Each structure stands twice: as C-alpha cells, then as structure tokens.
C-alpha cells in the first residue's frame, strides 16, 4: 500500500496504558501544532480544555478501546500504542504507529513483534515469569518526542 500525506493529520492514543509523561508530551504537541489528538480509554482521561484535545471513554471490556480506534482511524493518521495486535490492525488501514517507547512500527516489524508477543504469552501461560518492561528511560521519551515531531512535520510517512 502506498503511503501519502493525509489531508488532515490526527493522533489517536490507546490511553488505557499510556504513561503520564507521554500523555503530557502529546498534549503539548497537539496544542503547539494544532493537531487533533484523541485519547481513547475505558476510563475518563483528563485532558486540558482545548479544541485540539478530546477524551473518548468507551465501555469496559476486552479490546473495546482498541476496536474504537480501529473504527475511527484513517490512512495517514498516527496511533500511539504498545498493543501489538492493535498496531497491526491500524497499519493495515494505512495508519502510522509509534509505541510509547519511541519505536515506529510498520508492516515489516509488526509481524515479528506479533510472533514475539505470542511466544511470550505461551511462556506466561505455562507458568514462566517473564517480568514486565522497565520504566521509560529518558532516551525513550526523547525518541518518542522526536518521532511525534516528525509526524507533525509531515515527514514520518
């Protein structure tokens, strides 16, 4: 699928697991660049009053927020998520994906990440403790902010 710059940029945030520091970066960038940014979660996500910021609360349930993002996203929009299956779905629709750790996911690397995710799920199901991810590092925050700035500038397509 060929990628093109959308007529109107928009950012969709899988906000249930979005770290506060990343949310703060997104809020500042949305207001500075006047880019519509929508936080989708099973709970209300507080955002400052701004024409560029919205919080959408969906009902509780497995993947309800993910399904809402998939339903609303368009080609060229940006999706912020750590959820690999969600990333794979929106990439198929032509969206750009950045993880909260500052990694760009695309059609090539998301397949490998899905395989790793499935393998780790299998290990956890068999009782092996796999641990969680470490806290966000300063370099990951910077990587995220840099990719977000590139998307806003129109050079992350």
Residue 110's nearest CA partner among 141, 80, 89 is 89
Eight-state DSSP code of residue 12: E
5 within some domain: no
Which residue range forms the structural domain that includes residue 133?
A: 10-153
Looking up tokens 């497995």 gives: 62
Decide if 1 is inside a domain: no
> b/e for 56-79, b at 16 or more Cβ within 10 A?
bebeeeeeebbebbbeebeebbbb
Residue 15 belongs to domain with CATH number: 3.40.50
In a domain, 2, yes or no: no
Q: Give the closest residue to 85 by CA, choosing from 111, 59, 58.
A: 111
Task: Say if 85 falls within a structural domain.
Answer: yes
Decide if 135 is inside a domain: yes
> Would you say residue 27 lies in a domain?
yes
Structure token digits, residue 14: 């899988």
As for how many domains the chain has, the answer is: 1
The rounded average pLDDT for each run of 10 residues, N- to C-terminus, in the chain (157 residues) is 57 95 97 97 95 96 93 97 93 96 90 65 67 84 97 84
**Paired tokens of 83:** 């959820």
pTM, two decimal places:
0.85
């Amino acid at each position: 699928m060929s990628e093109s710059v959308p007529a109107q940029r928009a950012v969709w945030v899988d906000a249930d697991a979005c770290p506060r520091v990343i949310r703060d970066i997104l809020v500042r960038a949305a207001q500075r660049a006047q880019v519509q940014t929508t936080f989708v979660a099973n709970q209300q996500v507080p955002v400052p009053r701004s024409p560029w910021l919205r919080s959408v609360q969906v009902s509780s349930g497995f993947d309800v927020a993910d399904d809402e993002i998939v339903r609303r996203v368009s080609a060229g929009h940006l999706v912020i998520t750590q959820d690999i299956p969600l990333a794979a779905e929106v990439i198929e629709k032509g969206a750009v994906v950045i993880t909260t750790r500052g990694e760009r996911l695309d059609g090539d690397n998301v397949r490998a990440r899905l395989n790793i995710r499935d393998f780790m799920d299998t290990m956890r199901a068999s009782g092996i403790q796999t641990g969680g991810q470490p806290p966000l590092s300063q370099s990951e925050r910077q990587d995220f902010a840099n990719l977000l700035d590139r998307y806003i500038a129109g050079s992350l397509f």
